[in-house]
Amino acid sequence: MDLASHQRALLELIETGSLPSEAAEDPYLRKVAASQGLHVVREIVARWETFDIRRSCPLTAAALDRSGRFDELLAASSFASGGAFVESRSRLFLEEVARRENGVAGSVARFELALTLVRRGGTERHVVDWDCDPAGLLEALATRDFDAKPHPGRFRTVIAADLPGLVSIEQLPDR
């Protein structure tokens, strides 16, 4: 086995915990696969991913903590295609939550993703609709006040680089 194949097999072992079939006969890789050290490395990677996501997606993490779904959605997110940079992993996480979640958590993820894209130089306008006042909700999430009850109603946020503060909020008429 050449060095590049060996390194790819080690990376897959760390990322998935299983040995690729083409490396199954390599005695060193089999030894690593069975080692306690691999378990420790995988646990460290998982803890760093959790730390990075909580730090880079604080509002979405708080919304998911509020509903008790953070760990579930973190586990459902595949970071393998994201590379080593927290920016790409946080984008993958926010996209996964926005795709899978309706209601508060989905709206918060879409909002946080749009805000991240605009802050990084994106020129598109993003629209997120809400079934409660997003200002009160986002403030409650930022302070982790899970007992706060945001004002119900129909609201829309627009996130764009040309807006003061990057965000505008409008209340929509009731249906």
pLDDT in tens, 38-69: 999 989 988 988 999 999 999 999 999 999 99
Range of the domain at 134: 35-172
Tell me whether residue 85 is in a domain.
Answer: yes
Tell me whether residue 14 is in a domain.
Answer: no
pLDDT beyond 90 at 35: yes
φ/ψ of residue 150, rounded to 5: -65, 150
For 154, the enclosing helix (H) or strand (E) is strand 152-159
Tell me whether residue 11 is in a domain.
Answer: no
Tell me whether residue 130 is in a domain.
Answer: yes
Tell me whether residue 20 is in a domain.
Answer: no
Tell me whether residue 101 is in a domain.
Answer: yes
- How far does CA 97 lie from the centroid of its chain? 7
Please say whether the dihedral angle defined by the alpha carbons of residues 16, 20, 24 and 30, taken in this order, is positive or negative.
negative
Report the domain count for the chain. 1
Tell me whether residue 135 is in a domain.
Answer: yes
Residue 2 identity: D
Mean pLDDT of the chain: 91
Tell me whether residue 17 is in a domain.
Answer: no
Choice between 81 and 136, residue whose per-residue pLDDT is larger: 136
pTM: 0.82
Q: What is the pLDDT of residues 100-128, one digit of tens each?
A: 998 899 999 999 999 999 999 999 999 99
